[in-house]
Amino acid sequence: MKRDFLTVLDFTTKEIESLLVRARELKAMQKKGVENNPLMGKTLGLLFEKQSTRTRLSFEVAAIQLGGHSIYLSPHQIQLGRGEAIQDTARVFARYLDAIVIRTYDHGMVEEWARRSSIPVINGLTDLHHPCQVISDILTILEKKDKVSGIRLAYIGDGNNVAHSLIEGAAVMGMHIRAASPAGYDPDNGIVSKAREIAKETGATVEIMREPAGAVVDADVVYTDVWTSMGQEGEEDERKKSFKKYQVNRVLMKPAKDDAIIMHCLPAHRGEEITEDVMESPQSVIFDQAENRLHMQKALLEMLMR
Ligand code: CP
Ligand code: NVA
């Protein structure tokens, strides 16, 4: 049976724990130059409808480092862009490829791909979720804090795809998440309710708040993302006004723990959601986060493609 990875909740706590162990092993192996070719003869497809630096590169490099290959496709370059049905495209893809990473707008689209496809479908970001980002962020938190369960994570800003996957990740892994967003930009109610259900089992807590200063009190991790996500460019001016008080800066960081780490999935807009000094401070682990995309996705590809 093929497995898909469309949201963090597609994996159990135990499965994410195994991925964390394996990602750390793979990272250590790579640093030592140990060869590991489980994807020999296998090909990963990437079908991206939105721009990407990290997700594209880390998946392509992951496939290569595991002895496999990758092929990058934009919907506009293939017949899909001229109206060929997903149903048919997915069947054809499965005759050539061993797994596919999809980045698109509507989350329903990756669900349809998963239904139609006999090979694993990995969500490389939709308007609703960014699960690959978050499982690798959990790896970064584990490395920096030596634990995940019980960690207090403050998410400041838009209740967007990254926020949704963080809320699910916190629930599954027993973290305490507080997300502070301006009115009208709260995370999705359905995602929050589901996360709270799971939290009852794992000891996690999920709080949705308005005040950023309240959210960061005693935080171990302060996380932010852009105010305007891909596809929302038309709302940029309005969003800049609404999110003004939601900038991660020195003052906002004060109530957090002294050794709190600062995270951002990137790309960042210095001077908007995060200040330059905070981004470049010793507390920032933003570029380790970017690196860990590679190691965690290697573990993910091994699990789904082998
Ligand atoms: N964080 C992230 O997914 O970056 P890209 O949009 O560059 O892939
Ligand atoms: N929320 C951002 C994340 C980019 C990795 C976006 O969707 O544009």
Residue 11 near residue 65 (C-beta atoms within 8 A):
no
Distance 50 CA to ligand 2 centre (A): 10
Is there a contact between 212 and 180 (Cβ–Cβ < 8 Å)? Answer: yes
Which is the catalytic residue, given 65, 133, 247, 289? Answer: 133
Q: What is the pLDDT of residue 123?
A: 99
Q: Whose CA is nearest to atom 3 of ligand 1?
A: 55
- Closest ligand to C-alpha of residue 59 is 1
Q: What is the mean pLDDT of each run of 10 residues along the chain (306 residues)?
A: 98 98 98 97 98 98 98 96 97 98 98 98 99 99 98 99 99 99 98 98 98 98 98 98 98 98 98 98 98 99 96
Domains 8-130+292-305 and 133-289 share a fold: yes
Q: Phi and psi for 214 in degrees, rounded to 5?
A: -70, -35
Rounded Cα distance between 75 and 84, Å, is 10
Three-class secondary structure of residue 9 per DSSP: helix
Work out the number of other CB atoms within 10 angstroms of the CB of residue 232.
15
Pick the CATH number of 8-130+292-305 from 2.30.30.90, 3.40.50.1370, 3.30.465.10, 3.40.50.720: 3.40.50.1370
Q: Residue 292: CB within 6 Å of ligand 1?
A: no
Beta bridge partners, 43, equal: 69
Q: Whose CA is nearest to atom 4 of ligand 1?
A: 54
DSSP 270: B
pLDDT value of residue 215: 98
CATH number at 133-289 = 3.40.50.1370
**β-bridge pairing 152-156 and 176-180:** parallel
**Chain centroid, CA 298 distance in Å:** 14
| Per-residue model confidence (pLDDT) at position 212 | 98
- Rounded to an integer, what distance in angstroms lies between the CA atom of residue 180 and that of residue 164? 13
Instruction: Read off φ and ψ for residue 127, nearest 5 degrees.
Output: -60, -20
Name all residues whose Cβ lies below 6 A of ligand 2: 125, 160-162, 225-226, 229-230, 265
CA-to-CA distance for 213 and 93, rounded, in angstroms?
48
What pLDDT was estimated at residue 143?
A: 98
Cβ atoms < 10 Å from Cβ of 21 = 11
> What pLDDT is recorded for position 117?
98
Write out the two tokens for 10.
């597609």
pTM above 0.75, yes or no: yes
Distance 226 CA to ligand 1 centre (A): 11
Question: Rounded CA gap, 9 and 16, in Å?
Answer: 10
Measured distance CA(170)–CA(22) in Å, rounded: 20
Question: What are the sequence ranges of the domains in the chain?
Answer: 8-130+292-305, 133-289
Residue 33 pLDDT: 97
Q: Which atom of ligand 2 is nearest to the CA of 161?
A: 1
Q: Is 132 a catalytic residue?
A: no
Ligand 1 centre and the CA of 228: distance in Å? 14
Q: Does residue 133 have its Cβ closer than 6 Å to ligand 1? A: yes
What distance in angstroms lies between residue 132's CA and the mean position of ligand 1's atoms?
10
Q: How far apart are CA 56 and CA 5, in angstroms?
A: 16
| Per-residue pLDDT tens digits for 207-263 | 999 999 999 999 999 999 999 999 999 999 999 999 999 999 999 999 999 999 999
Catalytic, 306? Answer no
The verdict on whether 103 is a catalytic residue reads: yes
Number of other CB atoms surrounding residue 13 within 10 Å: 16
